[in-house]
Chains A and B, each alone.
Chain A
């Protein structure tokens, strides 16, 4: 039998399929741009002008550019968390609620330690820990409900998103309301020493940038290089067989939810300490949902997710510029939506073609 090892061939095959993959994704991006342009034309706007102003809005000045990075930070952290659950085959739709809970716990910690006179950096650290705990807590709930109650994590997460948001609103208008009047604009701001300082002349805190890079690198290494990542992948693809091969699936499901919640909580804490400085009803800013889109778009690949998250952040920041053209500044959402749709569509078409061959 001709069974000599063919390891030498493997990389070239891999490379080839990576390029095909890349080409397919590029096709999807082009299609998304074409369709978005079509909508711009319908809205009686110059597509090229619009794209140019988005670019200017994102990269025109240092402030704008650093805003993009500041927006990339929570997005890449949320996406990283979701990569763990996606790899394990779990749809953690509850991400947004987990970020909200992270923010709630962070603000709660600040309220507790506000008057203690502890060193501000220690308080910030404790607040981040609290935020992380909040995120983990809220992520383990759908996990436990799935494992012990047989509740699909999509429904569990969806429900818990509403509960988290309602809890935030209750706190804002109830126990944590501002002295005098309760307001939908949020709770009282945290004291200045607790706010993460920006790099002078920018909109970006160095601390959060470092955290984001650590999280992204950690995620890539864990998923691509470790036994943990491989086992998670095995569970995601076939949990029955993984269990019989000897992987404790229940523990890994919970670990995936826990890690995802950890990152959600950190994202929540970052939003409180470097952006909003208070608890607002929309404390997650939609980063949980956007993270789901990014993770799907990159087909759960950690390195690409950092790139695509940056692209999405640039779109979100850049599109505020569109108001000056008389367009709604939510317009970036149209492009983001089209992108995901076309990537999924093109991928489906490719699979069809492959099975036909």
Chain B
């Protein structure tokens, strides 16, 4: 299906989120939409899928002007969107998720739907069992499920909003293969991303957005520097590789074993030194999260011992770890990290230790304003946290970290951030390493892991590699290990 935007404008209060957008996407192409956070990419996609109504302008589908008044409307017209956060129903079965999106029949035809799921799943080489519960799937699998569901509903336009955040390298490859196949079948694929490399690899044409405007359309061959210049209006330098790793071990793991209902990690031995950064690589769900949560006391090891600065912390709970200077930044920001419905100021009050009875509003607002400035958060002290954009929520999460910490554990610290912000955040974190703070983090971006880690652990199906020196390894070597080769 051919899509054409004509003079689309969208305002949010004083923010001109889409400023007179004009362009056409021919059918059967993979159209890249590139831009940093807040550039207006997601807004335009939400206008296209009926989440928002444009303040002015028109959308043409196959040269016919249409009004899309709701997401359901969009699906009826053949436009489906894969959201950054999956919109499925975790406590229900895959098949029920399919049935929920359909109209009609009091008694749905479960048998037929089950067959359809299996057929589609095979066609794209996914392994999705209609009877498994959605909550047992990884982010990547949930994404596959959503793609299948949209195809099953018969969409002709598939929009993907930052689809590679949170999925493994392997799943990404599979995703790209799927998208290429779909495009060759005549589907229009819209790929929204801020990752240059992916856009260059996948898209047959790219539209670049900056501050609400479409700054240009680019056809292959692509020039990375040109993209960067278009996205930021200037060139961006990659940060230097610096290390603050000392020779003083601070954390000692002895024969740690971890278990949850589907995974088992055995006999992990590791020393983490003061100021060291350790990156955890591996497919989503290979045990990195268990490992991080063990280091925070949120997950109790089934065997072995944890020593923090010589003290035995085995079996202690999260508050004890926290008192000892451990901080945890979960990946699910609005579910585990931040509190929707509360303001930035309230978050900063909560994050600090207080022993007095009454809240000092004045000093809390002062602190919040300082942090807003320091971390370039786009918001006010009275902004509700859920009103901030994803990138700003991530900055807020980092700004909430207390001052004196010994160990920071982060899941996907720069997920959803543009390159510039990611570089800035890491410079902030590295500053902490100077004061002997150690960092352990997970990321699905191998470049990020190699760039910022001192040592790397690779997780694969319950196995944990020996620490790998980040200076001597390569993306290829890590990729092999993540894929299960070379163990």
Contacts and interface: CB of A to CB of B under 8 A. Distances in A.
A234 B359 contact: no
Nearest to B374: A3
Interface stretch (B253-261, B329-337, B456-464): B329-337
Question: Looking at chain A's contact residues, is the secondary structure mostly helix, strand, loop, or mixed?
Answer: helix
A243 interface: yes
Interface in B30-67: none
Interface in A233-252: 233-234, 237-238, 240-248
Contacts of A7: 365, 369, 380-382
Contacts of B346: 230, 233-234
A116 interface: no
Contacts of B338: 238, 241
Contacts of B353: 246
Nearest to A233: B342
A234 B381 contact: no
B357 interface: yes
A237 B341 contact: yes
A228 interface: yes
Contacts of A228: 357
A217 to B, nearest CB: 14
A14 interface: yes
B237 to A, nearest CB: 19
Contacts of A1: 376, 378
Nearest to A251: B319
Interface in B363-421: 365, 369, 372-373, 376-378, 380-382, 400
B218 to A, nearest CB: 27
A231 interface: yes
B318 A243 contact: yes
B356 interface: yes
Interface string B319-331: 1001000001010
Contacts of A328: none
B349 interface: yes
B53 to A, nearest CB: 8
A225 B339 contact: no
Nearest to B323: A246
B107 interface: no
Most interface-central of B319, B350, B357, B380 (chain A CB within 10 A): B350
A200 interface: no
Interface string A206-231: 00000000000000000001111011
Contact of B336 (A14, A226, A240): A240
B262 interface: no
Given A7-B369, A246-B351, A238 B340 contact: yes
B358 A244 contact: no
Contact of A244 (B336, B359, B372): B336
Contacts of A227: 349, 354, 356-359
Nearest to B400: A245
A237 B342 contact: yes
Given A242-B350, A246-B353, A230 B319 contact: no
Interface string A232-276: 011001101111111110000000000000000000000000000
A5 interface: yes
Interface string A176-201: 00000000000000000000000000
A246 B352 CA distance: 9
A6 interface: yes
B322 A230 contact: no
Contacts of B322: 246
Contacts of B400: 245
B382 A13 contact: yes
Contacts of A6: 380
Contacts of A245: 339, 347, 350-351, 400
Contacts of A247: 350
Interface of B: 318-319, 322, 328, 330, 334-342, 346-347, 349-351, 353-354, 356-359, 365, 369, 372-373, 376-378, 380-382, 400
28 contacts: A3-B372, A5-B369, A5-B380, A5-B381, A7-B365, A7-B381, A10-B381, A13-B382, A225-B358, A226-B358, A226-B359, A227-B354, A230-B346, A230-B350, A234-B350, A237-B339, A237-B342, A238-B338, A241-B335, A241-B337, A244-B318, A244-B336, A244-B337, A245-B339, A245-B350, A246-B322, A246-B350, A248-B319
Given A227-B357, A245-B350, A246-B351, 4 more contacts: A10-B380, A238-B334, A240-B335, A241-B338
